[in-house]
Structure 1
Amino acid sequence: MILTDTHTHLYSEAFDEDRAEMMQRAMEAGVERFFIPAIDASYTDAMYKLEQSYPEHIFLMAGLHPTHVKENYLEELAHVEQQLIDRKFYAIGEIGIDLYWDKTFLKEQQNAFRQQIQLAKKYQLPIVIHCRDAFDEVFEILEEEKGENLFGIFHCFTGTKAQAEKAIGYGLKLGIGGVVTFKNGKIDQFLADIDLKHIVLETDAPYLAPTPYRGKRNESAYLLKVAEKLADLYNINVLEIANATTANSKEIFGV
């Protein structure tokens, strides 16, 4: 059984004390493919070091996270494009709009999101979207940019069934993580109505640990808990969930 964690921040400082052991636990749980979203330029070296340590398992993304869009965002976007010129990446992410913490840079977030979608099209890469308290704003830009060359993953999907169907309509798969195991997560109420071909698994480690680890540091080994929950919802076994969602990840990332 091969599980694919399509979104995990394994370079995070949260893993500095036990990264090797954490990776070993993940692989023992069947997680063999790890897709690594970017945050900003300050994490680039740590991402490269992680890839050097696990070259068969780590797949990097390039991008500027919306909560890190500040006055210098154009410099950050220049760094993203320079990376794309220099070497191979598997997606542009994570990108999008986040109005949960701060709305000061909404205009800049919108500009950065739009420009990074256009970079993804230029380099024929998928996008990985971060959206928090900003469904309308994200969908507005997706409507502008929609087309056959727009595809990717709506990371950490926590919206309604209607919003799920809208995201799928833009060529996006739904990234499902620990929230599906929460009692108040709500997406478990309709997820089985969504064809499994539109679903990929993720942890967003070290954040959003699934039940029974909620509130603790998340890690990629816990992806198995997400897969088990989906197996219950879809009334199939975990191996079928692993096979389907890994195939879906290969469709998006091309590897």
Structure 2
Amino acid sequence: MIDTHAHIYASEFDHDRVQVVERALAQGIDRILLPNIDLESIQPMLDTEAAYPNVCRSMMGLHPCYVNADVDSTLATIHSWFERHDFIAVGEIGIDLYWDKTFRAEQERAFVTQLNWAKELELPVVIHTRDSIEETLSLLKQEQNGALRGVFHCFGGSVEEAQAINDLGFHLGLGGVSTFKNGGMDKVIPHLNMDYVILETDCPYLAPVPHRGKRNEPAYTQLVAKRIAELRELDINAVDELTTHNAKQLFGL
């Protein structure tokens, strides 16, 4: 299996990162993809990738929650990294209107700018949306020229939203929310197009049941796969095979 979205470079893992990777490998999770969030996360992310070169691969992007008045200079620095390192995606990017709408215009500008990088670089994008699915889809429709591809990570929306995302050629990243009793995904997952589904944890956040509320980690990817298998009435190996194939195709692994 592939954990397509994990922040194991974060400080939450500083005391046991080696064991975290070992537990993932023991559960059959042999690839862990690392999305960048801001300027401070770049070095820890690259150090983690260097420590586990056969397991970890990095992305480069500016997360919407870290967009502020200095967005243009930050984007210039982020963009410069594409000439210095081989990244598998532009991410994590997007729009987040949950906490603060102060820099909404800057978030939208950063999102569109990074979508254009992805077109130029022929890389997939990893999209973060929170309280912003309509705004994100609207901008994506404007920018989609047939060259854009990627994933809406941490998907927790409706069947209709999933269809709109798939219609634009984008995948759905399913994680811990898929296992929550009150998450509503038990009504959605049976109707998803499995050709567009990939697995993720978003660790250290959003741990799946039975670890909800605790630190998440890549080993728990298999709990997400197990829940999808139950809801789709499939063997977990079939879910593993399909989602791994989808992830490899999307990220060029």
Q: Please give the range of the TM-score, normalised by the shorter of the 2 chains.
A: over 0.9
Q: Matched residue of 1:41: which SS?
A: coil
Gaps of 5+ in 1: none
> Amino acid of the residue matched to residue 247 of structure 2?
S
Aligned residues between the structures: 253
Is residue 77 of structure 1 aligned with residue 75 of structure 2?
A: yes
> Amino acid of the residue matched to residue 102 of structure 1?
D
> Amino acid of the residue matched to residue 211 of structure 2?
Y
- Supply the distance in 1 between the matched residues of 2:166 and 2:211 (Cα, whole angstroms): 29
1:64-95 CA-partner distances (Å, limit 9, x unpaired)? 00000011111121112111111210000110
What does residue 27 of structure 1 align with? 25
Q: How large is the Cα RMSD of the aligned pairs?
A: 0.7
Where in structure 2 are the equivalents of 1:46-195 lying within 5 Å?
A: 46-195=44-193
1:9-66 CA-partner distances (Å, limit 9, x unpaired)? 0101100111101111111011011110000111111011101110011110000000
TM-score of the pair, normalised by structure 2: 0.98
What does residue 206 of structure 2 align with? 208
Q: 1:251 Cα shift?
A: 1.0
> Amino acid of the residue matched to residue 237 of structure 1?
D
> Amino acid of the residue matched to residue 107 of structure 1?
A
Q: 1:120 Cα shift?
A: 0.5
Deviating beyond 2 angstroms after TM superposition, the runs of 4 or more aligned structure 1 residues are none
> Percent of pairs identical after alignment?
43
- Supply the distance in 2 between the matched residues of 1:22 and 1:98 (Cα, whole angstroms): 29
> Amino acid of the residue matched to residue 136 of structure 1?
E
Asked whether the equivalents of residues 147 and 170 of structure 1 are also in contact (C-alpha less than 8 Å), the reply is no
Moved more, 67-76 or 111-120: 67-76
> Amino acid of the residue matched to residue 208 of structure 1?
L
Gaps of 5+ in 2: none
> Amino acid of the residue matched to residue 64 of structure 1?
L
Q: Matched residue of 2:41: which SS?
A: helix
What does residue 250 of structure 2 align with? 252
